[in-house]
A = this chain, B = another copy of it.
Amino acid sequence: MNVISKQISFPTKSEGDILDITKKVSEAVAETKLQNGIVTVFVTGATGALTTIEYEPGLLMDFPNMLERIAPKNFSYEHEKRWHDGNGHSHVRASLIGPSITVPFIKGKLTLGTWQQIVFVELDARNRVRNLVLQVIGEG
């Protein structure tokens, strides 16, 4: 059994940007040469989130649209009254989805469905450079 840490970093374009990071995570797991285990992907920061989704253009609109109904951007947030950074909605959305995802891998391959991708969701009110920690635990 080993634990191997990887990091990935990328820029996001704007709020609501959903990035397919499946290939980056798969490659990181492959590099470890571990065969069976889990990878925990974690975003360092409180206005981004991780989940899985079928990565097709329709859902890339539908998912942010749902978040807008749950936590509208044009709404009165106590966070905004104190900090004036225009991202109260970003924070509460991120806390609801969560900052991490743990995915098993078997024989070196992530156990995802064919139409299921690991995604990073940019929830902040502006583009950012994002850093994710990938903690890979398993055996060779």
Contact = CB atoms under 8 A, between A and B. Distances in A.
A12 interface: no
The prevalent SS among residues of A at the interface is: mixed
Contacts of A95: 51-53, 59, 63, 97
A71 interface: yes
A127 interface: no
A65 B37 CA distance: 36
Contacts of A56: 79, 82-83
Interface in A26-69: 36-38, 40, 42, 44-46, 51-54, 56-59, 61-63, 66, 69
A102 B59 CA distance: 26
Given A59-B88, A92-B62, A116-B99, A38 B135 contact: yes
